[in-house]
Amino acid sequence: MASNEIVDPTSTADVSLRRKFLHVAVPIIGVLLILATIGGIGWHTYQATRTGVLKLTHQLLVSVQRYVVQDVTDYLGAATVGGVFARDFISHAPPAVTRNAFYAYGASMLRLVPQIQSYYLGDQNGGFLLVERDPTGKGLEYTELRNSASGNTFHHEFHDEKGAVIRVTDNPAANYDPRTRSWFAGAIKKDGVVWSSPTIYPTTKQLVITASTSLTGSDEVPRVFAVNVSLNLLSQFLDGLKISQTGNAIILDGSGHIIAGHNFSRVVARSGNDPAKMLIDPQTQPVFLRVYDQYRVRGVGSHPFRLDGKNYIGMAQTLPSTDNWVLLIVAPESDFASFARQSGRESLQFSAIIVVLAILLAGLLARQSRRTERVSHEFGRQKAQTDLEAAALQQVAVTPGLMDVTEEALVLTEELTRVTGARRASLWRMLHDGTALICDDNFDAKVEGHSGGFELSRKDMEEFFKLVDAGAIVTIDGAAADPRTVAFERFVMRDAGTRTVTVCPVRGTNQVGTGIVGVITLEDARFAPYLVYFLEIVAAITAVRFSNSTEMTDSQKDAAPDTSAAESLPEPRFDETLMQAPKVGGEIGQGLYPSVAVMVIAFSDPVMEDDQTGSKLLPLIDRIAGEVQDIARRYNLFSVKVAGHRLICMAGCTKDPDPTAIWRLAEAALSLRETCMLVLSTANIEPIFTIGMDFGPAMGGELGGNPKIFNLWGETVTLAELMAQGAPDVGTIEVTERVYQALRSRYLFRSRGSFYAPRSGTGRVYVLATRR
């Protein structure tokens, strides 16, 4: 039933799967968790480091910004603070020395402050003074606008480094009027410093910016003091400023024009020396443009942003004392956080090493678990095998009459096949002179049938007997090819189609002495070293059993049919109901007969009860009856009776046991079966008959007056009838265990199994196949 069960309760596949999952999946999941943990820690560390670095970067940039603002303020301080100082200095000078005071101050400042290009001083009356660097040397040039009748001229005095006059020149001033200049006009009516737009200074071709401030001298003449500051030096300063690896800064004026900054010369070149065109180029300066845009929207402060997949930190700050100038600083975030990324990368590499080690450990753990599982399975299998052997031995132990040679010991071969998985197991008993082996029992696990009685002669298979005499357990694959077993394979194994034989000699004691008393053969067994122990136990049991085999052998010899004795028996008697008038034989003994052989042939209904074909069948029945009479005479049966559909034959109705009776009846049964088969098949009728046989004591005697009728009854007759009724198939001869015991050495039997019979209890039933 197990193979048809929907749920097999003994199945442990689910447990095995769960176990495999625990053994393999858990380590893998563990490694994955380690990976996830390391990744998470790495990411968190990177993020924390990055945040810290950005915060630090911001503070750093703020410091840089302050530093730049301070520097720019200082840079422009010459114009702003200097302008305030000059205004005060000049305005309080006496009119007579105003000119000299201006020159003295200007010369001094020009010598000390490199970014200052020149100083102007114009008054409301059209006067104009200029001090600037000598474009051709290291000295100074003083210029004064003089009025004369011939027109305005510029009077130039060139001084060397020590202040000595080198030369003096004049040149026409045309219509130059300082009062029309922007630096004068824009500042004359205002307080404080007024910045003009950047311009290209004509003499030095440098970008300069002019800061103007108005003053009124002691002569009450309004004047404007102006200073030109070079922006090139400011650009050089910003260029040299190390904000970060690639960070830059620029300064824009209030209208977005670049005043100074990184690569300022390119800006100048790009604009064609036109300050009005010095705007941020979106192509080359996109990051500054982004910061400037953010500044215009969000005002001063820090403005981090992302551009083209790269993070930047941008800052904007207006410059004090300027005309809304703004300082823009931009630095890539990676300049500051790169070390964090590098640190993260190294952490990842170390983590990868840890992960590889963890995977190796997990693999080892899984491998070890699987190995442990396999070992556990092996232990389980060995335990199951041990249990199987113990159960088999227990089954052997509880078998009654195991050591009695007159009893069957079928359990030995059955358990041998069960434990070893062999196709067939045989017990061979060595005849006392050692010249032959006789098969005590042979069990075929495939057909679940027992047989026995085969005899192997030493002269036919000398090599096999030598193998047995060697006394060792030997397994031979390909028995047909091995010279030691080739004869055994031919005689015994070929019918069953087996290939491998295991030979286990049985060492014991018999009448001759101690030695090999038999052999156990296993065909196609799954032989394994651990089965040796079990085989040796069974061999020992068999040896004890064989040690009592003397009587068996003798009785077998006595049981050989004595045909001469059978020939001396009187003619059979046929019951008058079918055959012929009774003729009472002199051998009849009234009462109990100790060993009567009874055969019942039961014909089934379709053959005998068909009314339409009854008349046609009558000649056929008559022919069968004639054949039965012939067979009965041939084997000297005692009586043949017909009762309805049954034909009852018996032999051995003598007071003394007749050893030939069962043999004669068996021969008669085989002949009768053959005859009936032939006759029925000739008439194209299915052979629908069954035969049952039993052998044992029975009650019998002549009954009634005239005519007297001989009848036999008792358990033997009943069992013979039961065998005939219960025969498994048509044409079969089913016999009791007693018949099997008596005939097994000369006929082949197939076991049908154990059955319960009323009053006789459980017994084995066999089917008589044929003669050996």
Q: Which stretch binds another protein (CB under 8 A): 9-17, 209-217, 476-484, 580-588?
A: 9-17
**Binder among 380, 606, 728, 753 for another protein (CB under 8 A):** 753
* C-beta of residue 653 within 8 angstroms of C-beta of residue 642: no
Tokens of 290: 């982004």
Cβ pair 451, 749 in contact under 8 A: yes
Burial class of residue 691 in the structure, from the number of CB atoms within 10 Å of its CB (0-12 exposed, 13-18 middle, 19+ buried): buried
Write down the least CB distance from residue 699 to another protein, Å. 22
Q: Is 138 in the site for another protein (CB under 8 A)?
A: no
DSSP codes joined into one string, 107-174: HHHHHH-TTEEEEEEEETTS-EEEEEE-TTSSSEEEEEEE--TT--EEEEEEE-TTS-EEEEEEEE-T
Paired tokens of 361: 């450990």
Please report whether residue 6 would count as binding another protein according to CB under 8 A: yes
175 counts as binding another protein under rule CB under 8 A: no
Kindly write out the interface string for residues 318-357 of this chain, putting x where it contacts another protein by CB under 8 A and - elsewhere. ----------------------------------------
Binding of residue 759 to another protein (CB under 8 A) = yes
Q: In whole angstroms, how close is the CB of 419 to another protein at the nearest point?
A: 9
Q: At what angle do helices 13-20 and 333-397 cross, to 10 degrees?
A: 150
Residue 371 or 526: the one with the smaller Cβ distance to another protein is: 526
Segment near another protein (CB under 8 A), from 263-271, 272-280, 335-343, 749-757?
Answer: 749-757
Chain CA centroid to CA 479, Å: 43
User: Among 731, 726, 720, 770, which residue's Cα sits nearest to residue 749?
Assistant: 770
**Least separation, in Å, of the C-beta of 38 and another protein?**
40
Q: In terms of Cα–Cα distance, which of 43, 70, 62 is closest to 331?
A: 62
**x-or-dash string of contact with another protein, 356-385, rule CB under 8 A:** ----------------------------x-
Q: Is 164 in the site for another protein (CB under 8 A)?
A: no
Nearest to another protein of 564, 762 (CB atom)? 762
Q: Which residues of 501-529 are buried (b: 16+ CB within 10 A; e: fewer)?
A: bbbbbbbbebeeeeebbbbbbbbbbebee
Q: Is 202 among the residues that bind another protein (CB under 8 A)? A: no
CB of residue 391 vs another protein: minimum separation in angstroms? 5
| Binding-site member from 169, 394, 548, 682 for another protein (CB under 8 A) | 394
Of 5-13, 372-380, 466-474, 625-633, the segment contacting another protein by CB under 8 A is: 5-13
Closest distance between another protein and the C-beta of residue 374, in Å?
21
Tell me if 564 contacts another protein by CB under 8 A.
no
The verdict on 754 binding another protein (CB under 8 A) reads yes
The pair of structure tokens assigned to 178 is 């300082």
Query: Which residue's CB is nearer to another protein, number 415 or number 441?
Result: 415
Question: How far is the C-alpha of 430 from the C-alpha of 539, rounded, in Å?
Answer: 13
Say if CB 126 and CB 144 are below 8 A apart. no
User: Which is nearer to another protein, 11 or 59 (by Cβ)?
Assistant: 11
CB 418 to another protein: min, Å: 7
> Is residue 418 involved in binding another protein (CB under 8 A)?
yes
Tell whether residue 1 is a contact of another protein (CB under 8 A): yes
Nearest-CA neighbor of 743 among 402, 409, 443, 453?
Answer: 453
Q: Using the minimum distance from each CB to another protein, give the nearer residue, 11 or 180.
A: 11
> Please, are residues 571 and 583 in contact by the beta-carbon 8 Å criterion?
yes
- The reply on whether position 10 binds another protein by CB under 8 A is yes
Task: Please list every residue from 235 through 274 that binds another protein, using CB under 8 A.
Answer: none
Of 684 and 762, CB closest to another protein: 762
Number of residues interacting with another protein: please give it, by CB under 8 A: 27
Q: Tokens at residue 511, please?
A: 């009448």
Among 36, 174, 200, 390, binds another protein (CB under 8 A): 390
Question: What value, to the nearest 5°, has the Cα angle with vertex 39 and ends 35 and 40?
Answer: 115
In the complex, minimum distance from the CB of residue 740 to another protein, in angstroms, rounded to a whole number:
17
Contact between 407 and another protein per CB under 8 A: no
* Residue 750 in contact with another protein, rule: CB under 8 A: no
Token pair of 481 as six digits: 């090819």
Q: Per-residue x/- mask for another protein, residues 680 to 699, rule CB under 8 A?
A: --------------------
Cis ω before 707 (30° cut-off from 0):
yes
CB neighbours of residue 565 within 10 Å = 12
Q: Determine the Cα–Cα distance for residues 691 and 727; give it in Å rounded to an integer.
A: 7
Judged by the rule CB under 8 A, the positions of this chain that interact with another protein are 1-2, 4-11, 384, 387-388, 390-391, 394-395, 398, 418, 753-756, 758-759, 761-762
